[in-house]
Amino acid sequence: MPVLTIYRLLTIGLTPLAGAALGWRAKQGKEDPERIGERMGAPGLARPAGRLVWLHGASLGESLALLPLVERFIQRGVEVLVTTGTVSSAKVLRARLPAGAVHQFLPLDAPQFVERFLEHWRPDIVLFAESELWPNMIRAIHARRLPLVLVNATISRRSAARWRRLPGGARTLFGEIDLCLAQNAESAARYLGLGAPRVRVCGNLKFDVPPPPVGAGRLAEFNGAVGPRPVWAAISTHAGEEEIAIDAHLSLSSEVPSLLTIIVPRKPERGAEIAALASAKGLAVGLRSRDGEPRRGVQIYVADTVGELGLFLRAVSVVFTGKSLTAEGGHNPIEPAKLGCAILHGPHVENFADIYGELAAARAAARVSDAESLARALQFLLSDPSRMRKMGRAGAEVVRKLGGASQSIMAAIEPYLAQSALEQK
């Protein structure tokens, strides 16, 4: 029996359990309890009249990368539906989506939910970001003869190898994608090898995304609380990296006694755990969700809130980007680079190797390997603000030069937009 048929039958069989599973996830904070119906394909909003483009990004980073396209579609007079799969992405998009765009949660990949979703929204064009591939959804889109485009598409060597273990299923699924617009030549070659019929390289949309916003009043209030203290931030950290940041702070405390370390964990719900870890090492800790602005005397400040990264990146001049020391792959350094931060990172940045390579070549980023080397790099930069600012300016210039993917993507999908406009007449 073909693998895609087996998958379809399994998801049909598990459909009756979806409500209970989603309810359990809601209790864990992983679903919005008021919007669980959307995860089963039930619409939370009416479909707007006219042409509708549906864009999907799995989580926060992927969905934010779609914002430049959202703006361009709205300028063209096209209605926009954006879907995501995480609670944190929904919270951030609520503040950042422009008028003319609406948000829904992506339904689970069960045929009943998928059909309910598509029947209500009836998109004219479908754009999926990066490597988000749900077999039942893709097959249903193809059956309705809707153009499906992968944008900002990327696929790792490891993921491509997993797909190749299912050659029949992979070639069927990838063959139903109308157009694949890859971030780079390596991903483009992998998509072609898996059966995507039309592939182009358009660059990385994330270079075109505006930096995360913050109100001037909030920034002034935060900077007033910090005062003249030297400050740095470890952002998007994963388990183990917070302890390294805390140890680096301890190493620096004798040289820089007034140092403030801001830790922004990738998962805000880990904030209390991180605060306890720092307290156990004898440090004065502030937890943003509990204590508000950093009080005088706080040494480790845990920023366990959603949607405030723009505030913290503007309050510092040097950051460490997480998922690069104790976890693999790295996180996107574009946002701190756009805001002029000098960037430190661990050795494991495979998911963004090209970007980190460009930053390193411009001397805008430096690699560290442990708490000791992190502390040395921080001391070097904090003691020489002019060098730190020079690194930041170099990074901002790198990401400026690498922009333009949104324009290339819009040009590539113009035939689909033109066709949808003809069909509306």
Q: DSSP letters along 301-317, please?
A: EE---SS-HHHHHHH-S
The larger pLDDT score, comparing residue 287 to residue 156, is at 287
Annotation says 62 is catalytic: yes
Average pLDDT in the chain = 94
Residue 424 has pLDDT above 80, yes or no: no
Query: Which residues fall within 8 angstroms of residue 181, CB to CB, at 6 or more apart?
Result: 149, 150, 151, 152, 153, 199, 200, 201, 202, 408, 409, 412, 413
The larger pLDDT score, comparing residue 348 to residue 3, is at 348
3-class DSSP state of 377: helix
For residues 205 and 406, the answer to whether their CB atoms sit within 8 Å is yes
% of the chain residues with pLDDT over 70 = 99
Q: What's the average model confidence in pLDDT over 3-13?
A: 93
Distance CA 390, CA 21 (A): 51
Q: What's the average model confidence in pLDDT over 216-240?
A: 95
196: number of Cβ within 10 Å:
24
Q: What's the average model confidence in pLDDT over 225-234?
A: 96
Backbone angles phi, psi at 234, to 5 degrees: -105, 115
The larger pLDDT score, comparing residue 356 to residue 419, is at 356
pLDDT band at 85 (very low <50, low <70, confident <90, very high): very high
The string of pLDDT tens digits covering residues 301-358 is 999 998 899 999 999 999 999 999 987 889 999 999 999 999 999 999 988 888 999 9
The string of pLDDT tens digits covering residues 18-77 is 999 999 999 998 999 999 999 999 999 999 999 999 999 988 888 999 999 999 999 999
The string of pLDDT tens digits covering residues 154-168 is 998 889 999 988 878
Angle 167-175/3-14 helices, nearest 10 degrees?
80
- pLDDT at position 1: 63
Residue 210 has pLDDT above 80, yes or no: yes
Residue 425 has pLDDT above 70, yes or no: no
Distance CA 51, CA 118 (A): 14
Residue 421 has pLDDT above 80, yes or no: no
Catalytic, out of 62, 130, 242, 335: 62
pLDDT band at 95 (very low <50, low <70, confident <90, very high): confident
Pair of tokens at residue 379 = 């001391």
- pLDDT at position 49: 92
Half-sphere exposure at residue 18, Cβ-oriented, CA atoms within 13 angstroms:
20
Give the residue carrying structure tokens 């470890």.
234
Q: What's the average model confidence in pLDDT over 246-259?
A: 94
Lowest mean pLDDT among 258-272, 369-383, 408-422: 408-422
- pLDDT at position 216: 82
pLDDT band at 293 (very low <50, low <70, confident <90, very high): very high
Residue 197 has pLDDT above 80, yes or no: yes
- pLDDT at position 166: 82
pLDDT band at 81 (very low <50, low <70, confident <90, very high): very high
Residue 237 amino acid letter: T
Residue 299 has pLDDT above 90, yes or no: yes
- pLDDT at position 60: 84
Residue 252 has pLDDT above 70, yes or no: yes
Query: What is the CA angle 123-10-36, rounded to 5?
Result: 50
The string of pLDDT tens digits covering residues 111-154 is 999 999 999 999 999 999 988 889 999 999 999 999 999 999 99
- pLDDT at position 367: 97
Query: Which residues fall within 8 angstroms of residue 13, CB to CB, at 6 or more apart?
Result: none
- pLDDT at position 423: 72
Backbone angles phi, psi at 233, to 5 degrees: -135, 140
The string of pLDDT tens digits covering residues 111-123 is 999 999 999 999 9
3-class DSSP state of 227: coil
For residues 348 and 323, the answer to whether their CB atoms sit within 8 Å is yes
- pLDDT at position 351: 84
Residue 422 has pLDDT above 70, yes or no: no
